[in-house]
Amino acid sequence: MPKLKTHSGTKDRIKISKTGKVQRRHTAINHFLKKKSASTKRTFAGVEEVSGKSAKNMKRKLGIQ
């Protein structure tokens, strides 16, 4: 059976931590920033952990599972 290719879009957007957790950026931080409060923008600044079926699918796209 041939090797599976890594999904390029997922590779650029997702990071796997050392413990195996899937991390991604928050959405809604790129545009329409004028109407958002400062606290909302600070909340969006960090990374978010993905869990459940979504994390499993993302790992599969990266060829980890």
The residues spanned by each domain of the chain are 8-61
Mean pLDDT (whole number) for 48-57: 95
At 65 the pLDDT is 73
Mean pLDDT (whole number) for 14-42: 94
3-state helix, strand, coil in the chain (%, to 5): 35, 15, 50
2 pLDDT higher than 80: yes
At 59 the pLDDT is 94
Q: Is residue 11 classed as helix, strand or coil in its secondary structure? A: helix
Q: What is the CATH number of domain 8-61?
A: 4.10.410.60
For residues 16 and 58, the answer to whether their CB atoms sit within 8 Å is no
**Residue in 19, 1, 9, 2 with CA at minimum distance from that of residue 62:** 9
At 4 the pLDDT is 83
pLDDT level of residue 64 (50, 70, 90 thresholds): confident
C-beta neighbour count of 58 within 10 angstroms: 20
